[in-house]
Amino acid sequence: MVSYVVYGRGSFNQLDEILAPNRKAGAPVIFLLDHFFSAGSGGENKPLVNRIPLRGNDKIIFADVTCEPKTTYVDALAQQLKDEFGTISGIIGIGGGSVMDLAKAVSLMMNNPGSSAGYQGWDLVKNPGVYKAGIPTLSGTGAEVSRTCVLTGPTKKLGMNSDFTPFDQIVLDPELIAGAPANQRFYTGMDCYIHCIESLEGTYLNEFSKSYGEKALELCQHVFLEKNEWNEECDDKLMMASYAGGMSIAYSQVGVAHAVSYGLSYLLGTKHGIGNCIVMNHLEEYYPEGVAEFKRMVEKNKIDIPTGICKNLNDEQFETMINVSMGMKPLWENALGKDWEKIMTREKLRSLFEKF
Ligand SMILES: NC(=O)c1ccc[n+]([C@@H]2O[C@H](COP(=O)([O-])OP(=O)(O)OC[C@H]3O[C@@H](n4cnc5c(N)ncnc54)[C@H](O)[C@@H]3O)[C@@H](O)[C@H]2O)c1
Ligand SMILES: [Fe+2]
């Protein structure tokens, strides 16, 4: 679990105090800032980049998240920091889910040998990373609380799942997500909604996951269905929904939408939030109530969900997606039970992919 959590409007202003006890003499704090903020956005009065409490030899690095994080990028960032500083006091990720994952991964790679690709899996990481903090600027993925960091490597898209992966500190400041465009906010927000449905409808469900999942679901329903206009209260609630949704899947698992959307993203590079939405749109058979409600949310928020993305693919490409998706065994087992392979056949999965 994350050791320290600060929540509240304006809490970003406490960052200097929060970091002070974690600074080591001569070793800088690295701020990994989402490249979205390089253009000077992120604050009505002062751009976010100018609010970062730099001291000594601290450094800001803009994270390129045009593509979701790759193991090669993680390795390059860690190597750059080792070459320039030897050691660092810590790394602070400020951005969407992609930057959360990059910061976690780079922190681990400062203290573990080899390539991050060698740690994609469960409990392969040997040593704790350097101090790491996460400050989300989009809400929904739950990456701020999870024990993984999803990376695309040479052979697979899989996280470094380990007890060393969670952040030491997170700062949840709803002011930071206020500027997100409605489409992006919706896609990332739906990641949270889908986490709730997959967790609450799954066979791995237990009281821990249920307690958090129900709360996150209620918050998502409030902001995406009951409210008629987006305001500060919505940002406050969506940020807590992401946290609770992440806590829910931490003790259960995701399901059909994620298993299938991983196939899309591996082959086509489809981003996580939008990929989940493309898939969820066609999952009536598995989550009838959740999908009906999802469609009401899409309509109410006037969002476009892309269609026709698989129409020009060949057999080999379908096979690749099916292989990646079928490989997500725990997700299928959570969704469909121990006999999932009898229910979700390759033919059935192919016809599902054809619908996208
Ligand atoms: N570790 C986990 O548990 C976990 C769980 C789910 C998803 N993920 C990962 O999270 C990533 C998806 O995260 P995401 O949906 O937050 O999107 P993202 O981080 O990929 O960012 C999407 C886009 O929004 C921009 N952006 C960031 N903050 C913004 C703001 N305030 N206003 C406007 N634009 C902003 C980014 O620059 C980027 O262009 C994927 O890489 C996925 O694999 C991780
Ligand atoms: Fe997700």
Q: What pLDDT, in 10s, does the model give residues 316-343? A: 999 999 999 999 999 999 999 999 999 9
Q: Is there a contact between 74 and 63 (Cβ–Cβ < 8 Å)?
A: no
CA of 143 to the centre of ligand 2 (A): 9
CA–CA separation, 130 vs 108, rounded Å? 7
pLDDT(45) > 70: no
Q: How far is the CA of 196 from the centre of ligand 2 (A)?
A: 10
> Cα 88 from chain centroid?
25
- Phi, psi dihedral angles at 5 (to 5 degrees): -130, 125
pTM to 2 decimal places: 0.96
Q: What is the pLDDT of residue 42?
A: 57
Q: Within 13 Å, how many C-alpha atoms sit on residue 154's CB side?
A: 7
Distance between Cα 272 and ligand 2 center (Å): 7
Indicate whether 169 pLDDT > 90: yes
Q: What angle do CA 296, 300, 304 make, to 5 degrees?
A: 90
Q: Residue 44 pLDDT more than 90?
A: no
Q: Ligand 1: which of 36, 70, 162 to mutate, judged by most atoms within 8 Å of the beta carbon?
A: 36
Residue-wise pLDDT for 73-92, tens only, equals 999 999 999 999 999 999 99
Closest ligand 1 atom to 188 CA: 15
Return the SS3 of 124.
coil
How open is the CA angle 304-306-309, to the nearest 5 degrees?
175
Q: How far apart are CA 152 and CA 34, in angstroms?
A: 18
Name residue 121's beta-bridge partners. Answer: 160
Rounded to 10 deg, the angle between the 272-280 and 256-268 helix axes is 120
What's the pLDDT at 26?
95
Query: What residues have CB less than 8 Å from 312, skipping those under 6 apart?
Result: none
Report the greatest alpha carbon distance in the chain.
60
